[in-house]
Structure 1
Amino acid sequence: MAQSSGNRKVDVTPYLGVDQVVMVPLKGEGDVLTYTNVTAGVTAQVQTRRVEAVVDLQYNHSFGWGSQAVDQDVISGVASAQFKVARGLSLNAGGVATRVRTDGLSGASTLNDSFTSNVYAGYVGPSYTTQIGDINVTGSYRLGYARVEDDVDSDFPGALPNMGAFADSWSHNLFASVGFAPGTLLPIGLTASAGYDREDASQLDQRFEDKWGRVDASLPVSRTVALIGGLGYEQIEISQRSPLLDTAGAPVIRNGRYVTDGNSPRALVYEFDDIIWDAGVLWRPSRRTSLEARVGQRYGGMTYQGSFTWQGRDSSFALAVFDGIDSFGRLITANAAAVSGSSLNVARNPFTGDITGCAFSTTGGGQCFNDALSGITDANFRYRGVSAQYALQRGPWGWGVGAGYSQRKFITPRGQSVLIRGSKDQNWYGNGSMTYTISDSDSIDTVVYANYFDASGGRPDVTNYGGFTSYYKNLTRKLSASASIGVDGVKSDDIDTIISAMGQVGLRYSF
């Protein structure tokens, strides 16, 4: 169903599909595997005076041929929506769903392995902005939920909890600010803001609380450059209970996760209570371009943060340097909330139905999920790194590139976690996507990806790489055919390189 008039656009397309997939080992041990995939999904783009939404959601069931090809279910997709309730008041909602490996081979193909987990994250909450004279007032609240569900019993050797098992968590994010721009009430601009963040995770009844308040100033020194800085106070506490012990004194593990001793006292894992500050520069030569860089002190040491954004007529670029304290639950929820706009290109793996890592947007609302999904653990961590994303849609061509690096320094109780306190994981990733519309009935897309995960705590380092190309042909107005070829490689510390070739042919009927 598609409707378009003026600034109004409503395009909702449900579909059903069936395809045949074969996987052939090129290097390393393995069998030739064959699957029949049955899919049902919906794509939607909605842009009206009150609603802006984008949805790409799919359910895929794989019927395996033979004992080595197990049946699998995958729910995957990305959704983002903003509802304008009243002037200045909006309700925001969205989420992400995908599948990852459970055996430590971060990023590798999930097609030929039953040790997988389904990941879900969603959020909902209002935001408000208004202006009272020269005073700007903003406020927002976000309720988030994240969950990891294992497809199999994870009590197998070398699996969870040796990798640190995340189960689920609820998170709350509350923010408010009031201030005025430079040159209105004073030559400098001032903004007072405060926030409260909390996450309650089921694994060992873990709790994260962050309360902060600060005042920020902005002093223009030219038409395009301003000096910026802020001073405030922050209090962070992370606590959890102890695992239940058996008669031999060993932690009780059920479905790969520690069983919480509800009678144990809550232990303080991390505490920060101090003044925070930062200073930097803001460069804004036009409405389309912005650069911000800050250096300061937080978490008991120096911090470095920055961002650069550029919005073109048919393209966008964003780069971010980040430094904070995070967890898998808060990170994947924040990634989902970062997706916005009414146009989104979600690249899917044609052999598994999984999203390939990045959702690209030419309006600046894209997001890469690779980093959040690498090395999922139940621990909080100091999270530092850099990420970049570029998207372009010009004529028949569409391009998307995402890349980044991150370091996780774990915050865990001494003697109670499988991850050593202060140990570090590092992750490098890159994704590229190209689409080309040959004609009204023919198109092609290509995706390449690479990921290197440098793990701590005795877990394997993993290198994963691959790519695929798909060709699409509209047979009728509603029936289309597809054919894909691809390759996926993975190398881990404790296994030889495995390289697999994959092929796919399929049909899709759109309603």
Structure 2
Amino acid sequence: MTRLWIAGASLAALAAATSAHAQTRDDKRVDVIPYIGIDQVVMGPLKGGGDVLTYTNVTAGLSAQVQTRRVEAALDLEYNHSFGWGSQATDQDVLSGIASANINLARGLSLQTGGLATRVRTDGFSGALPQRDTYTSQVWAGYVGPSYTTQVGDFTVNASYRLGYARVDDDIDQNFAGAQPNGSFADSWTHSLTGSVGFAPDTVLPAIGLTASAGYDREDASQLDQRFEDAWGRVDATLPVSRTVALVGGVGYEEIKIRQRSPALDDDGFPLIRNGRYVTDKSSPRALIYDFSDVIWDAGVLWRPNHRTSLQARVGERYGGMTYQGSFLWEGRDSHIAIILFDGIDSFGRLITADVAALSGSRFDVARNPFTGDITGCAFSTTGGGQCFNDALSGITDANFRYRGVAAQYALRRGPWGFGLGGGYSQRKFITPEGQTVLIRGSRDENWYGNGSLTYTINDRDSIDLVTYMNYFDASGGRPDVLNYGAFTSYYKGISRRLSASASLGLDGVDADDLDTIISAMGQVGLRYSF
């Protein structure tokens, strides 16, 4: 995973956005709401040609919020089956959802778990929203693991372990003559183990705090039996220079190794390909494709004027060069701001499971596309446990990469109004064997993304929302650059205590290199019954 030496913050822990009904930590609440629904969707081209497509969607879902003394959990899961009208509108099944739970097992000991199911496009339009008439792949990710914290005299002791799994299932068969490897991800298991012991300034030594920490991360991916291992240890110091400012820094040692086997060859000496992926030669040894072993260090400043605000900036040396990291966090009574500057070695499997692990709280709102049922990229929460996934889901590959960029999120809930805004930029510099033709070693993908949401609660039964999104994926290796943008608005009307109606209008545009721009108009009307 991408580790940031930043107190109380990581890229995966960025908080974002809004919730219609925020609950305080002291509330006790258990809400489990199963539902079924039916809606009619029409999609038509405004630019770029194509057919008008009509679908009837039947949905079944479950939303749950649990907040008790021992359990804090949230779930939003939906199954959608689309019946297409006409030969061009094919039937489809969509399963999407997000789950997060924190269970307090004993004093200081807790168990965290969560999962994600969503779709991504596999027709070359990386980063664009899935549509009913496009090739897609199903993404699964989940994790589980315990964490423990305790106080031993003046020393704080922490330990945690996380087991993660990520998988991408393609919905098209690429076992045809002349098929080329597409560098797509298959599945992987990840392990992350960390521990630390330390004391705050003025508790053991005058004016200085020290923390010793160590960790081990491992990922085993099925594609070419790839294995990532990262072992590290370091000591960090905090030196207050005023009531609100402290100097921070650390030094340690890290060893990272990435290995993978060779592809199996056919009788003519060419790599065997199955469904767009190399077939692994199990008899070949794992070749070392990345090796980093060296001293790591960083130093910076921490500004914390009050318990709501924290600013930290660090510069250091890692991965054989300079690194720059930072964070700004502000938590108001009804608003939240988070900005992160990050730098690390990552992969899709480690990144998506870390994003899922960042979710927390007993309630978050999942922004769904009303025309397809897909998650639009973010889960919003006023308790600081929201997360955006669209950056991780853009340009999915089986390669490891140097992962650098910035991410920012803002959330506000005031009266009947809710507002959320998230955006960022990331760069992936690929770590691959010399001579690979899918993703060239040292080539770069870049991604810019933004999501916005606005909600207004009219009364207990009626509400309006507006969602906007933009994603620009600048691809390497001859793949097309893709710009996706759009917006949709929905009106929800309560008919009775259990029955509600909805109506939505939207626009979605896709612009890719050497391809005509496609702009689609969409409309939806539906009914939902909650049990």
Bigger mean CA offset, 52-61 vs 378-387? 52-61
Give the stretch that moved more between structures: 9-18 or 215-224: 9-18
Match of residue 222 from structure 1? 242
Q: Does 1:438 align with 2:458?
A: yes
Offset, 1:418: 1.3
Question: Matched residues in 2 for 1:417 and 1:139: separation?
Answer: 41
Match of 1:479 in 2: 499
Note the residue ranges of structure 2 that are not aligned, 5 or more in a row. Answer: 1-20
Partner of 1:191: 211
Report matched runs for 1:173-188 at 5 Å.
173-186=192-205, 187-188=207-208
**Superposition pairs for residues 148-187 of structure 1, below 5 Å?**
148-155=168-175, 161-162=181-182, 164-186=183-205, 187=207
Question: Is residue 2:267 matched to residue 1:247?
Answer: yes
Q: Say which SS state the counterpart of residue 434 (structure 1) adopts.
A: strand
Change (3 A) 1:503 1:74: same
Offset at residue 507 of structure 1 (A) = 0.5
Equivalent position SS for 1:332? helix
List per-residue Cα deviations over 1:210-256 (Å, max 9, x = no partner). Answer: 00000000000011110000000000000000111111222111122
Please give the alpha-carbon distance, in whole angstroms, between the structure 1 residues aligned to 2:394 and 2:423: 14
1:158 Cα deviation (Å)? 10
Q: How far did 1:107 drift?
A: 2.9
Structure 2 CA distance for aligned equivalents of residues 144 and 157 of structure 1: 35
The answer to which of 85-94 and 152-161 deviates more is 152-161
Tell me, yes or no, if the aligned pair for 1:316 and 1:361 is still in contact at 8 Å.
no
Tell me the amino acid that sits aligned with residue 473 of structure 1: K
Deviations 1:114-146 (A, max 9, x none): 410000100000000000110000000000000
Out of 409, 412, 421, which is 1:392 matched to?
Answer: 412
**Amino acid in the other structure paired with 1:205:** D
Of the candidates 53, 63, 79, which is equivalent to residue 83 of structure 2? Answer: 63
Match of 1:51 among 66, 71, 88: 71
Deviation at 1:155, TM superposition (A): 4.4
Q: Does 1:404 align with 2:420?
A: no
Residues 348-376 of structure 1: per-residue CA shift (max 9 Å, x gap): 00000111111111121111101000000
The DSSP-based 3-state class of the residue aligned with 2:215 is strand
User: Is 2:300 the partner of 1:310?
Assistant: no
Determine the C-alpha separation between the residues in 1 that align with 2:273 and 2:103.
43
- Distance, in Å, in 2 between the alignment partners of 1:130 and 1:123 is 23
Q: 1:412-423, aligned counterparts within 5 Å?
A: 412-423=432-443
Counterparts of 1:191-340 in structure 2, within 5 Å, are: 191-340=211-360
| Structure with the higher fraction of residues in strand conformation | 1
Distance, in Å, in 2 between the alignment partners of 1:55 and 1:157 is 43
Q: How far apart, CA to CA, are the structure 1 residues paired with 2:49 and 2:268?
A: 39
What does residue range 54-203 of structure 1 map to in structure 2 within 5 Å?
54-155=74-175, 161-162=181-182, 164-186=183-205, 187-203=207-223
Cα distance in 1 for partners of 2:488, 2:134 equals 22
CA distance in 2, matches of 1:499, 1:470: 19
Give the conservation status (yes or no) of the 8 Å contact 1:104–1:159: no
Superposition deviation, residue 161 in structure 1: 2.8
Tell me the CA shift for residue 112 of structure 1. 3.3
- For the 8 Å contact 2:127–2:395, the answer to whether it is kept is no
Matching residue's letter, 1:346 = V
* Alignment pair present for 1:381 and 2:414: no
Q: TM-score with structure 1 length normalisation?
A: 0.97
SS, match of residue 7 in structure 1: coil
Q: Distance in 2 between matches of 1:161 and 1:290?
A: 46
Counting matched residue pairs gives 508
Of 224-233 and 65-74, the range deviating more from structure 2: 65-74
1:509 aligns with 2:529: yes
Query: Aligned partners of 2:320, 2:354: CA distance in 1, in Å?
Result: 24
Q: Deviations over 1:301-323 (max 9, x none)?
A: 00001111111111211111100
1:491 to 491, 501, 511: 511
Query: Judging changes above 3 Å, is the alpha-carbon distance between structure 1 residues 204 and 417 closer, same or farther for their aligned structure 2 residues?
Result: farther
> Matched residue of 2:120: which SS?
strand
Q: Deviations over 1:183-224 (max 9, x none)?
A: 100120000000000000000000000000000000000111
Report which stretch shifted further, 209-218 or 285-294.
285-294
Q: Which residue of 1 aligns with 2:477?
A: 457
**Residue 169 of structure 1 contacts residue 202 of structure 1 at CA under 8 Å; is this kept in 2?**
yes
Task: After TM superposition, give the deviation of residue 494 of structure 1 in Å.
Answer: 2.3
Q: Return the alpha-carbon distance in structure 2 between the equivalents of residues 290 and 68 of structure 1.
A: 54
Conserved in 2, the CA contact under 8 Å of 1:104 and 1:375? no
SS at 2:516's partner residue? strand
Runs of 5+ unmatched residues, structure 1: none
Q: CA deviation at 1:416?
A: 3.4
Amino acid at match of 1:397: W
Q: Secondary structure at the match of 1:329?
A: helix
Offset from partner CA, 1:41-70 (integer Å, 9 cap, x none): 111111110001111111111111111111
SS in structure 2 opposite 1:495? coil
3-state SS, counterpart of residue 371 of structure 1? helix
The yes-or-no answer on 1:33 pairing with 2:14 is no
Structure 1 residue aligned with 2:9: none
Q: Which residue of 1 aligns with 2:15?
A: none
Q: 1:159 to 1:28 in 2, by over 3 A?
A: farther
The one-letter amino acid paired with 1:165 is: S
Q: What is the CA–CA distance in structure 2 between the aligned matches of 1:156 and 1:84, rounded to whole Å?
A: 51
Give the Å deviation of 1:9.
1.0
Q: Which of 355, 361, 366 is residue 381 of structure 2 equivalent to?
A: 361
Maintained 8 Å contact 1:315/1:363: no
Find the residue that maps to 2:172 and give its secondary structure: coil
Root mean square deviation, CA, Å: 1.5
What amino acid maps onto 1:292 in structure 2?
Q
The AA in structure 2 aligned to 1:86 is A
Contact 2:180–2:273 (CA<8 Å) still a contact in 1? no
Contact kept? 1:402, 1:432, Cα under 8 Å: yes
Evaluate the alpha carbon distance shift between residue 74 and residue 112 of structure 1 in structure 2; reply closer, same or farther with a 3 A threshold.
closer
1:160 and 1:471, CA in 2 relative to 1: closer, same or farther beyond 3 A? Answer: farther
